[in-house]
Amino acid sequence: MQRFPEHFLWGGAIAANQVEGAYREGGKGLSTSDVQPQGIFAPVTPRKDGDFNIKDVAIDFYHRYPEDLALMAEMGFRCLRTSIAWSRIFPEGDETEANEAGLAFYDALFDAMASHGIEPVITLSHYEMPLGLVQRYGGWQDRRLITFFGRYANTVFKRFGHRVKYWLTFNEINMSLHAPFTGVGMAADSSAQAIYQAIHHQLVASARAVRDCHAMLPDAQIGNMLLGGIVYPLSCHPDDMLETLRQNRQWLFFGDVQAHGSYPAYMERFFREQQIQLEISQQDLTDLQHTVDFISFSYYMSGCATADPALQQRLRSNILDTVPNPHLPSPEWGWQIDPQGLRYLLNLLYDRYRKPLFIVENGLGARDVVAEDGSIQDDYRIRYLNDHLLQVAQALQDGVDVMGYTSWGPIDLVSASKAQMSKRYGFIYVDRDDDGQGSLKRLRKKSFFWYRDVIASQGASLQAGESTR
């Protein structure tokens, strides 16, 4: 097995709202995640005293991060992708002065990461925003959120720029089409006109953050983050080919704007045919020209598309629902495992954008069992990650510029889609169940030692399989 490049960024990825807990400590305000106790597709639930939300404590990373970072350092992490909770810095979102206690927490976190030689990769907004911005402004449909986000971004650039060299703007920015409240702070039944106007505001805010990062932190790099929802045609019928093109463009549109600096022609036709008329200023068009330095994305599985209504059986799988691929297996939670899809996606994105790529989420959610001796034999996770990393190696051989790989959930966390602990991703087991019971004790799984060896060997320890051709 050929070794990965020496500069390759090996690590893991987490998100503030899924690990930190301490949801009201240190002056933190309520976020949109705090009113989604059953996950991003369940109804929004206003807070009441005594209500249970597993994310209120999550895995208590807020208090336990020194132990968790030590375990990640033991695996040899070179980077950790996490997010800053916007509502820790600006509790209501529209303040003019930042919350010092929130800034101090991330000072301490990033200093601890530096002590272990772990590079922070920081997402500015990961599936949450201050709830006050939804209640007072209606979320991202209000243009003023561009200014509020810019104030927040510049605050953290200034405070943490000496520690953070890699930034991402919005996590899985295209998921606003599937879960508008999580993505843009708007009701699920909002009109397409309103959602795309909110998306436009978010794209402008992202571009301005790129502009300001480049001006304030010339040695830093800033990228976008896409949900890599690649679909294949269910057949080679021309109608299926065109339907596949249409569906892939729905999410590639976001990358096209962020990497090329303007709206693609196919979206102009889409807006015209859907009678969507966006309010776009000349300044917006100028701002959008500030393009990202690299493309980051998540990849868990692929799907299929067909134009035949009789074959449009939908399979809910994590965030997306797609037509099942008859050639792929489906484990629990409806995912269809497709390691070669990652190689395909890497080549597609590199051909399209010619910018470095960063795989910032990839992993398998599964139910783990702790044996009597305390061991966790998660060979299924090892197999999933091994096979996907082999395809990354193939993409590198194809000439794709891949910056790094951060597995999703290196430590068990609260899943975004269902707010479950039982859907575990980690190399590190956390003793907590879906009802919030457990000691929060951390245990090393079998995959912990496997990933440690992969990093130490620069990928040479990966085991070749049938899908590496």
Q: What's the Rg (C-alpha) of the chain?
A: 21
- Output the six-digit token pair for 95: 């303040």
* SS3 of residue 381 by DSSP: helix
DSSP 343: H
SS3 82: strand
Outline where DSSP puts E strands in 65-140. 79-83, 119-125
In the set 119, 128, 172, 243, the catalytic residue is 172
Would you call 371 exposed, middle or buried from its count of C-beta atoms within 10 A (0-12, 13-18, 19+)? exposed
> Token pair for residue 103?
């800034």
Q: Coil, strand, or helix at residue 170?
A: strand
Mark out the alpha helices in 138-187 (DSSP H runs): 144-160, 180-184
The verdict on whether 361 is a catalytic residue reads yes
Cα–Cα distance measured from residue 152 to residue 436, given in angstroms and rounded to the nearest whole number: 32
Distance CA 418, CA 422 (A): 10
Helix (H) or strand (E) holding 451: helix 446-456
At residue 429, the 3 state secondary structure works out as strand
How far apart are the C-alpha atoms of 414 and 430, rounded to whole Å? 10
Query: Could you tell me the two tokens for 423?
Result: 């859907």
Closest listed residue to residue 196, CA positions, set 213, 216, 174, 214: 174
Element (DSSP H or E) covering residue 398 = helix 379-398
Q: Which of 310, 387, 426, 368 is nearest to 71 (CA)?
A: 426
By C-alpha distance, which of 88, 256, 108, 84 is closest to 170?
A: 84
Residue 377's contacts (CB-CB under 8 Å, 6 or more residues apart) are 369, 371, 446
Look up 172 and say whether it is catalytic.
yes
Of the candidates 268, 361, 372, 466, the residue annotated as catalytic is 361
Residues noted as catalytic: 172, 361
